[in-house]
Amino acid sequence: MNTILENKDIQSMVAKISLNDYHKLGELGVLSEKMELIEGVIFNKMPKSPKHTFLVNSIAKILRSIFNEKDFYVQIEQPISIQDSEPEPDISVIEGNQKDYINNHPTSAKLVVEISLTTYELDFRKQFVYAKANIPEYWLFNLNNSEVEVYKNPTSEKYLNRKIYLSSDALEIEGTKINLKELLG
């Protein structure tokens, strides 16, 4: 059985919302904190499983040990404003420090990470949003397949490179290897 939004003709009739209007609705208290804007459409965020929470905290801890807090900071489930989207990646490595973003959300990142158990299709689609923001690297942890999809070399429309890492592999960033067996089991 198809849902109503799977029909292409109906999709074209959906009213999209701007990032500015999304912020206004948030200020008015109309939106829940469990929502995010992706390509002009508001999505409900899913509850977090214990494994999701474990991975977010574990990966954030590793990334904080790699990146110098003076030059970058690691944020968990916080917004990045990108044209018609305001995703809240599970983890993002942001250039600068938190004080740089007192009045505005970051508009890019060095790295974004999504952990996906039940939201793979949406998280897969987010790669195009992150590429549009010129985010150099996107990691998509696909827990259903016990693998990590790594996207690099963004253009204004998509990433040019995609590589899949298995749980027996290691990811490398800033000269540090991250053993995926410890994270994915």
| pLDDT tens digits for range 97-122 | 888 899 999 999 999 999 998 899 99
Q: Which residues contact 159 (CB under 8 A, 6 or more apart)?
A: 127, 130, 131, 138, 151, 152, 153
Q: Per-domain residue ranges for the chain?
A: 46-184
Summary mean pLDDT of the chain: 91
Pairwise CA distance, residues 155 & 20, whole Å: 25
Query: How many C-beta neighbours within 10 Å does residue 155 have?
Result: 10
Q: Which residue has the higher pLDDT, 70 or 90?
A: 90
Contact 18, 40 (CB under 8 A): yes
Q: Which fold has domain 46-184?
A: tt1808, chain A (3.90.1570)
Q: Please work out, in degrees rounded to the nearest 5, the angle formed at the alpha carbon of residue 29 by the alpha carbons of 24 and 33.
A: 95
Can you tell me whether residue 59 is helix, strand or coil? helix
pLDDT tens digits for 148-172? Answer: 999 999 999 999 999 999 999 999 9
| Dihedral pair phi/psi, residue 13, rounded to 5° | -95, -5
